[in-house]
Amino acid sequence: AQSVAQPEDQVNVAEGNPLTVKCTYSVSGNPYLFWYVQYPNRGLQFLLKYITGDNLVKGSYGFEAEFNKSQTSFHLKKPSALVSDSALYFCAVRDGGFKTIFGAGTRLFVKA
Amino acid sequence: ETGVTQTPRHLVMGMTNKKSLKCEQHLGHNAMYWYKQSAKKPLELMFVYSLEERVENNSVPSRFSPECPNSSHLFLHLHTLQPEDSALYLCASSQGVWEQGHEKLFFGSGTQLSVL
């Protein structure tokens, strides 16, 4: 069965510094990988996805993610964090079927 | 706005009540989903509908009863719930369940449910 692990409950970073939010996955077959963001009192919003091709995927709001097949990881990154990036981030995986499975989420706190 | 609307935003109910959550999508999608979000737990997939047919019931207790009368509307009927059912219930839609390239989910803002 597919699964997603987000090892950090919270990530703290200073504004202007680079940020990384970690994600590892387990799936049979080729994975479809996603990042979503949730702001307070809102539903999840799509950030980016990896289906195939270049291992570095660029998404919304300056975020990018790097797919590493050997480490089964899909870490979310941003070169320079903004206070407005503070939110709850979810990694998700789909195995080519119709189920999208999410991790528990990582809360990102960016301090001014 | 993502094009997926959920009502009510907040719901408080007793364990003997019957209530319903409503979801409507304005995106022309063919698939709709219910997820349960509890603090510090992975989002839990509950039900999946494709073209108004249920394709997944992820071992959800029978006190949760979904209904999809058409591809734009999805309901979750609740009865005799337990306090541990208190959570944020999220509705989502996608263009389809099988088509490659259309896997992105569009979420509503959720219904925050409290069971007393």
Asked if B103 has any chain A CB less than 8 Å from its own CB, the reply is: yes
Chain B residues within an 8 Å CB radius of A96: 100
Question: Residue B102 — pLDDT band, cuts 50, 70, 90?
Answer: low
The reply to whether B100 touches chain A by the CB within 8 Å rule is: yes
pLDDT at residue number B32? 94
> How does residue B97 score in pLDDT terms, banded at 50, 70 and 90?
confident
Euclidean distance between CA atoms B101 and A56, whole angstroms: 18
Q: B9-38, pLDDT tens digit by residue?
A: 999 999 888 999 999 999 999 999 999 999
Beta strand ranges found along chain A (DSSP E): 3-5, 10-14, 19-21, 24-26, 32-38, 44-50, 56-58, 64-68, 73-78, 87-94, 100-102, 106-111
Higher pLDDT pick, A33 / B1: A33
pLDDT for residue A112 is more than 70: yes
Q: Which of residues 9-28 of B touch A (CB under 8 A)?
A: none
- A51-104 pLDDT, tens digit per residue, is 888 899 999 999 999 999 999 999 999 999 999 999 999 999 987 677 889 999
